[in-house]
Structure 1
Amino acid sequence: MANNVGGAIAADLAQIRAQAAALNIALPQAPYDGPETQATGSTTTGSSFAERMRQAVDGVNQQDHAAGQQMAAVDSGQSDDLVGAMLTSQQASLSFSMLMQVRNKVVTAVEDLVKLPI
């Protein structure tokens, strides 16, 4: 039965990749390559969740610094691009909010896992 489910998942994944290729969308490589990967416990090479979260935090931090620099330039009179500064500030704010939502979901998921009976 595990082979049937694994085969169905692999077929669905191949179909999704084919549709994404037709739409010219690049999908990240999933860590799931079939039942043999799960049975051996090995994972494919790629970024871990912690690395991706660190990259996301760094990206949000860079956006915040860029927004701060643009706002400081407008405040000091070095730039007249108030609209651009406000847009950058709002983008940084939305990115931070999204990052906090992801963090909250991860914390909730970990708490749910801790509560699972063994």
Structure 2
Amino acid sequence: MTEVTTQLISAEHLMLAKMQNMQLKVQPEFSVTANPLDQQVNAAAQQTPMSFSGAMRQVLDVVNEQQSVASAKMTAVETGQSDDLVGAMIASQKASLSFSALMQVRNKVVGSFEDVMKMPV
């Protein structure tokens, strides 16, 4: 009985070792790259001290830049200068998503400001 138990335990250890080796081969090093939008905002932020209005201005500039790029790509596709329809659509969706997120932040800020103004003094 003990010999069978020993064989089972060593078989389990062998299987565990094989599974760990396979896991190491399958999973590459996990690395997170920085968001390009964060890099643009951070580069501008390092030049001047950050204030709320400065942060909003930088975000507005990034969103405006995305909309300009999307508009230029869509115009190029429409006029036949480019055949990159997928790139134009992706740029358009990025610009739309950025604008939507900006509007949500604006609405939250306006709502918070209104709440502060309603507070009794």
TM-score between the two structures when normalised by the length of structure 1: 0.62
CA distance in 1, matches of 2:76, 2:112: 42
1:48 equivalent in alignment to 2:81: no
1:81 equivalent in alignment to 2:70: no
User: CA offsets, 1:69-103, max 9 Å, x none?
Assistant: 00001011111100010000010000000000000
Structure with a larger share of its residues in helix: 2
Letter in 1 for 2:52: F
Letter in 2 for 1:69: A
Q: Against the structure 1 CA distance between its residues 69 and 24, is the aligned structure 2 distance closer, same or farther, given a 3 Å change threshold?
A: closer
Which ranges in structure 1 are unaligned for 5 or more consecutive residues? 1-22, 27-44
Letter in 2 for 1:86: M
Secondary structure in structure 2 of the residue aligned to 1:78: coil
Q: CA RMSD in A?
A: 2.0
**TM-fit CA distance, 1:59:** 0.6
Q: Which has the larger radius of gyration?
A: 2
User: CA offsets, 1:38-67, max 9 Å, x none?
Assistant: xxxxxxx83001000011111101100000
**TM-fit CA distance, 1:117:** 1.0
Q: Select the residue among 41, 64, 68 that pairs with 2:71.
A: 68
Identity across the alignment (%): 59
Name segments (4+ residues, structure 1) moved above 6 Å.
23-26
Which residue number in structure 2 is paired with residue 110 of structure 1? 113
Secondary structure in structure 2 of the residue aligned to 1:68: helix
Aligned length: 78
